[in-house]
Amino acid sequence: MAGAGKWAALVAAGAMAGLAAFSGPALAQLPSQTQSTPPANGSALTQEDVRTFDPAFFDRYTPVTAYDMARQLPGFIIDDGLSLRGFGATAGNVLIDGQRPSSKTSVSDELKRISAGDVARIELIGAAAAGNIDVRGYTEIANVVLKPATGVKASSTYSGLVGFQDQGHASGRAGITRSWKGDDFGLRLNAQVTDSQQHQQTVISFSDVGGAATGSRDEFTTSYLGELLLNGTFNWSPTARDAISITSRVMPRSYNLQSGATVRATSGEPTEYVADDYTEKDIIYLDLGGDWEHRFSPTNSVKLTSVNSFVGWRPQEFYQDYPASGPRDLATRINADNKKGEHVLRAVWTTKPGASHTLELGLEGAFNYRDTDLSIANAKDAEDFMPAALPVASTRVEETRGEASINDTWLLDPRLTLELGFTYEASKISQSGDAVQSREFRYPKPRFVATWLPTKRDQFRLSVERTLAQLDFSEFASVVQLVENQLTVGNPDLKPEQTWASSLQWKRPIGKRGSISLTGSYDRINDVEDLVVLQNGDTQFTGAGNIGDGERWGAELNLQLPLDSIGVKGGMLKFIGSASDSRVTDPISHESRRITNDLNYQWNLDFRQDLPGLKMAWGGDYNDLGDYEAYRLTEVQRLSWGPGDFDLFVETTRVKGMTITLAVENIFNQPRNFARRFYKPSRIPPGAFSGSEFRESTTGYLTTLRVSGKF
């Protein structure tokens, strides 16, 4: 656990730096604040509730889009929302003109399509304003306020990027956004084209029970991605009481992954050659969403939201295995036809029964589905391809879900805010095809959040809530990974993981641009989603499933430290680090272990210095990750990374209206390590350890040149 020790040392150093900063003059005052525009419900916010940042605050960063501005807010990290069941539970921490986007497209992507020139200001709204603004459990949220228009005004942003891997593979991306804004409407259209190539080298070593080498394998993979993305957003206020918003997305894609490998004996002589060609055909993403809000009075409103999405793609794979000499030994063909979709309709009534209360009543209905039709065929030597039997290869999963919710945000006094909520969900999941089953679920989901401001600088937030994980319908069908020689069987009995999640956060500003926060969390989990043993006839397989109850705990430090006071003018150091652990009982060994795919630690150190006099900035970041573990029927896997990912950049605005950034990423060529320990016939006693495999993959460094601007 040397990595964890390194993480702990850096957390301690960061905390000491933050505490040292508290004793100096950096905390003499908060950022200058101006009165925010009163919210639509008529209750004005105070200077203690909101901090306002005008465009001049961001001039040093030469922002092109609203995203460039929001990511530089002091002590604020953009959160696109959790992957939870229910549209209302996935809200992020950014508003646009006081509203959350009515789509499941990330708010980060939405901000990247708004020109910085269209932003009047950005407000950081604290929990003390929860009686006026739906902060949705966050200690603070950002509200991007756009400039009002007289007549019709148009603006545009553009960006282009070219990248080169050190092995000669090139990628490119170009996009443009055109916006129109009038007195009562707004329209944004965005188009982006991507052509990407990525190459990866992998060296694999095989060992026997005693650790002696038994062979090796040299492997390469090259991926090709082509994508056209078209987005549209339309906002209209036909009356003083009505607001309508429509969002849409169309994205056709093409994707191909080519792999090849040479298997060698311990002497280094080739013994086998492998080739694999994986292609996804006819990929299409379609999204259409919208909402209508009507205000009956300053304290009563109704909002209807609809979200609709569709994804279709047809994977095809052709795998071939050749001996060192002679004709082909084995070939496998896989063909699949996949479709998935989601339709959500949500209605929310918001009212203020008193000056300190905001009450929200909601109803939501949803229909989700996924179709998977997979076939596999094998050919030995020069023989014809013969179909192979595969459990749960062709199936359709449908979910019909409804929920009712009530939320009360109560401002007890300017220093204490309570958010109380309760949601009741009822759903039905049915599966047809190779697996036929229908199940019904009912879950209560209470929620409690308390935010306390004992001083003007300090803020504490305590939250306890019951959440449901979003089911991944792909885990209801079988998945074959030929290169890794791995099969994961679909499980029709999978049900959503339920978590009692609790956390406590302390946050404090450092000067005008910095902050520090410490967060501790503890989760009590029921029906942990993990890997289980599935029986099909006389054969056992690995599949996704629920393995009982578990727990997870962790801590996070977030530090943003301005460096002006130590002589680095315009410098900013950011540190984000977290460590966590979890426990669950393994269904095979019956021993306590970490939950599959739980990352044990990660940290990132980021430095940037803005030099306005030279019209340039420079900096870099260093990122380090811990490891994941997975416990399958016949093996135990561990995914980890070598020395951290180090990036550097230099940026200039000397060309008027344009920002040019040159960056070199992954300078140390960080390796990705994948260790596998095998057991025969399985990990079920009396199965025994039979050998191991170690994969080290590298991609080389990447040089990118990015040009962006607005006009």
- The pLDDT, as a whole number, for residue 91 is 64
Please provide the DSSP assignment of 385-442 as one string. PEE---TT-EEEEEEEEEEEEEEEEEEEETTEEEEEEEEEEEEEEEEEESS-EEEEEE
Residue 477 lies in a domain: no
* Sequence letter at residue 687: G
Q: Six-digit token pair at 372? A: 């998977």
Q: Six-digit token pair at 369? A: 């589905």
Per-residue pLDDT of 165-208, as tens digits, reads 987 789 999 999 999 988 888 999 999 999 999 999 999 999 99
Report d(CA 452, CA 462) in Å as an integer: 9
DSSP 8-state class, residue 128 = G
Please answer whether residues 440 and 400 qualify as being in contact, where contact means their C-beta atoms are separated by less than 8 angstroms: no
Closest-CA residue to 540 (of 548, 532, 549, 529)? 532
CA dihedral 629, 630, 635, 637 (to 10 degrees): -40
Work out how many domains the chain is built from and give that number. Answer: 2
Q: Six-digit token pair at 355? A: 């000056």
Residue 381 lies in a domain: no
Please answer whether residues 639 and 602 qualify as being in contact, where contact means their C-beta atoms are separated by less than 8 angstroms: no
Residue 345 lies in a domain: no
Please answer whether residues 113 and 101 qualify as being in contact, where contact means their C-beta atoms are separated by less than 8 angstroms: no
Residue 526 lies in a domain: yes
Closest-CA residue to 482 (of 376, 565, 362, 583)? 376
CA dihedral 143, 149, 154, 155 (to 10 degrees): -30
- The pLDDT, as a whole number, for residue 82 is 58
- The pLDDT, as a whole number, for residue 125 is 82
Residue 460 lies in a domain: no
Q: Six-digit token pair at 45? A: 């916010």
DSSP 8-state class, residue 548 = -
Task: Give the burial class of 95: count Cβ atoms within 10 A of its Cβ; 0-12 exposed, 13-18 middle, 19 or more buried.
Answer: buried
* Sequence letter at residue 444: P
Report d(CA 423, CA 445) in Å as an integer: 5
- Core vs surface per residue 335-359: b (16+ CB within 10 A) or e: ebbbbbebebebebebbbeeebebb
Boundary residue ending a domain (270, 293, 326) = 326
DSSP 8-state class, residue 538 = T
Residue 688 lies in a domain: yes
Q: Six-digit token pair at 403? A: 């929920």
> HSE (CB half, 13 Å, CA atoms) of 593?
19
Please answer whether residues 690 and 679 qualify as being in contact, where contact means their C-beta atoms are separated by less than 8 angstroms: yes
List the domain range (segments joined by +) for residue 611: 1-29+497-699
Residue 255 lies in a domain: yes
Q: Six-digit token pair at 303? A: 């909002």
Report d(CA 247, CA 269) in Å as an integer: 58
- The pLDDT, as a whole number, for residue 21 is 36
Boundary residue ending a domain (270, 303, 326) = 326
Q: Six-digit token pair at 132? A: 């006026």
Per-residue pLDDT of 644-661, as tens digits, reads 899 999 999 988 878 999
Strands 645-652 and 658-665: antiparallel
E strand or H helix at 53: strand 50-53
326 C-beta neighbours (distance < 10 Å), count: 8
- The pLDDT, as a whole number, for residue 342 is 95
What's the distance, Cα to Cα, between the start and end of the chain in Å? 52
Closest-CA residue to 116 (of 179, 33, 29, 169)? 179
Boundary residue ending a domain (326, 349, 375) = 326
Q: Mark the ranges of the chain whose per-residue pLDDT is less than 50.
A: 1-47
Q: Six-digit token pair at 633? A: 């029927």
pTM: predicted TM-score of the whole model, two decimal places: 0.85
Closest-CA residue to 41 (of 237, 298, 317)? 298
243 C-beta neighbours (distance < 10 Å), count: 22
Closest-CA residue to 345 (of 307, 289, 309)? 307
468: β partners: 498
Cα-based distances in Å from 614 to 64, 69, 617, 654, 711: 19, 20, 8, 8, 23
Residue 581's SS3 state is strand
- The pLDDT, as a whole number, for residue 272 is 95
Residue 643 lies in a domain: yes
Report d(CA 661, CA 134) in Å as an integer: 37
